[in-house]
Structures are given as structure tokens and as C-alpha cells.
Amino acid sequence: MSSDDFAIRVTNIGKRYEIYGAPRDRLKQFIFPRLQRLAGKARKQYFHEFWALSGISFEAKKGETIGIIGRNGSGKSTLLQIICGTLTPTSGSIQTHGRIAALLELGSGFNPEFTGRENVYMNAAVLGLSKEEIDLRFDRIAAFADIGQFIEQPVKTYSSGMYVRLAFAVIAHVDADILVVDEALSVGDAVFTQKCMRFIRDFQKNGTLIFVSHDISSVQGLCKSGIWLKDGKIAQTGTAKTVSEAYLQYTLQEVYGDEARLNSMERAGDGDDSVPEDRMPGMSAPLAIDYGAVASVCDNIHAATGWKTGCAEIISVSLTRISPGQDGIFTGGELVRMTVRAKAHEPLRRPILGFLVRDRLGQDLFGENTLPFTDRTPRPVDAGVTFEGNFDFRLPMLPNGQYAVMTSVADGDRYDNVQHHWMHDALIIHVVSSKIRYGLVGIPFERVELEVIDD
């Protein structure tokens, strides 16, 4: 890849820290190895090495969005600081092209004794703006932060939300080519978070974004590619969807420990997440009359991924009409039934069945499980017994595109349960609509009109 094509190139990055058992060991390390070398003796090491990162390599193209996920302590923040230039790697190299703006840990880059105004000028200057450029943008920065007269107060008096507001307002107005955002947005209020997300989505049209979050839905919704860091090394790379699903399985396995072993289910076929249109029933020809929307459902269990413990297994998932109309064809607004059928291979004390409908970016749109029923009326299931959950609801009107149904069978209650079979993409819903839908899902409105009132 030429220098014109990439924004970030990380090559075999490693970061080592020296861990000392006692303060005196630092002094020993400073003096004794030199004396040992002069005496011709083997030099002794008075610390042990900790590699926060080891062998990290990846490239980010210009305009690409990459999500980085991993548990606390996996090396995410260290990697971001190396990308931003605030840490020097022990080994390897990094190349960046363009101005980098970063929102890392809370309050990073701020002097707590300075006022908000002073910190704006200091931060923006560090990011490469002249005083004249900051003067021209200051009012817009202050308006974006929306912290009122607190901008004239020392930032040590700020709440965590005010810290984030001011820090994000600065990076949003420095015309960066590369934006690095750590988990900091999680402390903001809903209104400001929405403002930040609108800026990020606008930035993605031309800029390169490195996004770190523990929110899997956000990673799938924002990012094209994903990197999973584990113990300072890359555990997996790929699409944001595949990496997020693997990480979700890993984190659940960590929670369950020896209680249950989650065995991966590999995708059959070529690994393509999409479903060809020639496999979708009822879609052989375009609609001649504008009926608004037509949705059809494809059984995808044979190609679904996920995991299972062997204690219980989902054997079928279906979506059927209850309202009158043609079977297998949906328009939105009609009464439908989602049926999840499973078989117990071992006795289940409190079985739970559930589903979630997700859009192509992995965002959860709607779903339900049988907990509201089983909390009141537990239904134990013996080994070898088949059981099913039925969910009746009115199907929302979905915009054009493909939607996937995730389903699972678990045992336990709301607070303590084990997912024995988790299946991604068990059903694929394919929607063709000739009408614009606003938002992630639409609903059937009983009345829409414009009325002129004569005062």
C-alpha cells in the first residue's frame, strides 16, 4: 500500500515496562550493571519485564473506521497512545499521515489549574492550530461544549461530563485527518453523546477513525473492521461483526469458567455474511405496484455461527403470519409469531428462549425472551424433551436491507444464567421498500395529516 493510501501503518509494535520489586532495585539497576560490565562479568537484571504490547501490526486506510476491543488491561490504551505519539514503542515502527486528534482517558491533556478557555488554547495549539486559528474557532468550540460560564473556571472544578464535553469540542474543530476516540464518551449525557455521534458519522465521510469501546453494538454500528486485543497481542482481526461475535463468546466463557464450555459453530460456505437474493423466497420479480414494503424470511440455521455447550440446542426458528395474508410475505404492521424451538440434552431447571432482530450493522432493533413468563411460572425441562418459545407481536416496518435474527437458549434467571446455545443469523429478513422509512424501524400510523388553523 502506497503512502497515499494509508493513514496509519503499525509494524511489529512492542511496548515493554520494567517492573521493580522494591525502590532500591531501581538504584541497583542504575549502578550494578555498569560495574559488572567494566569487571567483565555477566550483567544482572534487577527487574522483570512486562510487555504491554507485543508484535502488533495493522494498517488503516484513509477514510477507514477500525474498532478496537478487548478487556481492561489488554493494551488498548497503550496502543492508542503510541498511535498518538504520547508514548514511544520499545520495538517496531509506526507511520501516520495527517493531523491526529485524540480523546483518550478522561482529562488527558488538560491542566487542572488552567481554565477551560486556557485549556482550549493549549490543546488546540498542541494539535497544530495557530492562535489566530483558535481565535476564529473559539466561539464554535464553546458552543459545542455547552458548559456555559464554567469555561472561565479551572477545569479541576469540572465534573467528568464537563471534561469530556470540552475535550471533544476541541478535537471536533481542529480539522483532523485521523480521529482516535477511547471509551471516554461513555460518561457523557444522552444529548451530548448524540451530538458527538453526529459529528463522528460526518467525520467518517472523509477521515480515518480509530474507535475503542466495550459497547459491541457501537463497534458494529460505526466500524467496518475490528481488532481484538488480548494480553497485549492481536487475538483476531476481520470485519467488525466477526471480531465482535468472537469477543462476545470469549467474554461469556470467562464469566462461566468451568461451569460451561462454549464450543464455536463455524459458518458453512464461503463465510460471506450476506444472503444472495436468489435464496430469498417471493423475490423473483420487482413489484409492479407500490405496496410500500415487502419482507421475506430465509431460514439460515445451516450457515449460522455462534456457540453451544452441548446441554441444549436450538433446532428451528421461524417467523409466521397471524394476520390474514400470504404466508411468508410481510409488509409491516401485521401480527406475526416468532417461534424458537429447542431440545434439551441435559435437564434444564429454568430454561429461557429468546431472540433479537439486528440490522446489517449489528445494532439491536427489538427482541424478547421468555423470562417474563418463566419468572412467574418456572418450567423445568428433562433431557431429551423438545420445547419452544412463541412470541406474538406486530412486525415493525423496516427500511430496505437485510436483517438478522439472533436467538439463544439459556438456563437460569435474569441475574444468573448460562447461554447453552447462542446462534447468530438464524433467520435473515430481506426487505424491499419503495417508501422512505425514517429511523431504524417504522410503525404503522393511524392518521397523518396537515391542518391549517385560522387564528
CA angle (188 as vertex; 187, 191 as ends), nearest 5: 155
Q: Does residue 229 sit in the same domain as residue 303?
A: no
Strand partners, 393: 336
Q: How far apart are CA 26 and CA 19, in angstroms?
A: 9
The per-residue pLDDT of the chain, averaged, comes to 85
* pTM of the predicted model over 0.85: no
Residue 280 pLDDT: 39
3-state secondary structure of 260: coil
Exposure of 161 in the CB half-sphere (CA atoms within 13 A):
8
Q: Does residue 240 sit in the same domain as residue 349?
A: no
Q: Does residue 81 sit in the same domain as residue 213?
A: yes
Q: Does residue 36 sit in the same domain as residue 121?
A: yes
> Within 10 A of 341 (CB to CB), how many other CB atoms are there?
18
CA 274 to chain CA centroid, nearest Å:
20
C-alpha cell recorded at residue 122? 493549549
Residue 286 has pLDDT above 70, yes or no: no
Q: Does residue 45 sit in the same domain as residue 188?
A: yes
Q: How far apart are CA 364 and CA 244, in angstroms?
A: 14
**In this predicted model, what pLDDT tens digit does every residue of 30-40 receive, in sequence order?**
888 888 888 88
**In this predicted model, what pLDDT tens digit does every residue of 175-233 receive, in sequence order?**
899 999 887 666 666 677 778 888 888 898 889 999 988 878 788 888 889 999 999 99
| Residue 9: its H or E element | strand 6-19
Dmax over Cα atoms in the chain, in whole Å? 101
Query: 381: domain CATH number?
Result: 2.70.50.60
Q: How far apart are CA 425 and CA 188, in angstroms?
A: 32
Number of folded domains that form the chain = 2
**In this predicted model, what pLDDT tens digit does every residue of 347-401 receive, in sequence order?**
999 999 999 998 877 788 999 999 988 888 888 999 999 999 999 999 988 888 8
Q: Does residue 63 sit in the same domain as residue 120?
A: yes
Q: Does residue 195 sit in the same domain as residue 77?
A: yes
Identify the band that residue 279 occupies on the pLDDT scale cut at 50, 70 and 90: very low
Q: Does residue 96 sit in the same domain as residue 175?
A: yes
Residue 332 lies in a domain: yes
Residue 415 lies in a domain: yes
Domain boundary among 208, 227, 244: 244
Range of the domain at 213: 6-244
**In this predicted model, what pLDDT tens digit does every residue of 432-447 receive, in sequence order?**
876 656 677 877 777 7
Domain boundary among 177, 212, 244: 244
Residue 281 lies in a domain: no
Query: 196: domain CATH number?
Result: 3.40.50.300
Between the CA atoms of 316, 302, 226 and 357, what dihedral angle is there, to the nearest 10 degrees?
A: -30
For 245-303, strand residue ranges (E) read 263-265, 293-299
